Amino acid sequence: MAGAGYGTGWARAALLAWLLAGCAGVPPAAPERPVTPSPAPGPAVSAESAALASYYGQVQAELLSQGLLRTDMGGADTPFTDRMLAENFLAIAFYEEYDRALGGIVRREAPIPLTRWARPVRVQLNFGASVPINLRTTDTLRVDSYLSRLSRLTGLRIGLADSATDFAIFIADVDERRALGPTLQALLPELSPAQINSMTEMDRNTYCQVVTQSDPATSTYTGAVAVIPAEHPDLLLMSCIHEEIAQALGLPNDSGLARPSIFNDDQEFALLTRQDELMLKILYSPELRPGMTEIQARPVVEMLARRLMGGEG
């Protein structure tokens, strides 16, 4: 399905390359989207999609003007200790933003057992017709590079695949998203109508969404789907890719205390940070087991955090 189209659309404009590659300490990235020449025009835009593109462009510009959407991994201004790392991990890995008992669409923290993948993860990247070919190519390279980074951090085999997908990502415009309902239902049969509607009729203030499906008997994931608006400008798009994929690996919550982190609703960081990397290492450490409760895992998490931080208190 990679490259398959769903309807009309809009071509995103690229940011200057330094936004994603110019900061010290950022891991090597796949090639950026070209600034020149301009992307080839896509299909005719709908008025609604054009309005969304304008809105998201303004959102990104405003966030950047406030010093947000940082692309570094955190630095001297964002120190954290092993204790902070452990507490942040426990808050993010053992709670969900949305209560599944209420259909998975009501935003309310709910406790969960440790849940992660226990098998290799095949990721399929699907583009709507609104995304020009050259941007599909660049985005695919960047997602592939990010998946390789996540694999190194976790020890989990995770990479792009053309079929037999465990994790499907859709980058599609507003008209294309509305046609995704049957596809989402086929990929994750346990999705409720309300969950599907929340993804196909995504509010503009919800920048992107990911849903997962797990086996309650083993607390391991069996599938995931992410939907990202094609109307996003470049940095918002990459921010969604970084957060939604990392969340679907087993860090489903956000915490206002986590800094530096993308698992924080303050939008300070756009891309995976150093603390986020350490949380992913803890998540897939063999000392932890799927199904553990927060109480069971706490002493192990604290030990792992001390080890990763070199005993820093």
Q: Closest by alpha carbon to 165, among 124, 116, 118, 125?
A: 124
Residues facing 123 on adjacent strands: 160, 167
Q: For domain 18-308, give the fold.
A: Collagenase (Catalytic Domain) (3.40.390)
Distance between CA atoms of residues 25 and 23, nearest Å:
6
Residue 20, classified by CB atoms within 10 Å of its CB into exposed (0-12), middle (13-18) or buried (19+), is: buried
* Neighbour count for residue 90 (Cβ, 10 Å): 22
Q: Where are the domains of the chain?
A: 18-308
**Number of separate helices (H) and strands (E) present in the chain:** 10, 7
> In the prediction, which pLDDT does 18 show?
31
Q: What number of CA atoms fall less than 13 Å from residue 51's CA on the CB side? A: 6
What's phi and psi for 221, nearest 5 deg?
A: -75, 145
Q: Closest by alpha carbon to 140, among 36, 239, 33?
A: 33
Which segments in the chain show pLDDT lower than 50?
A: 1-39, 312-313
> In the prediction, which pLDDT does 237 show?
97
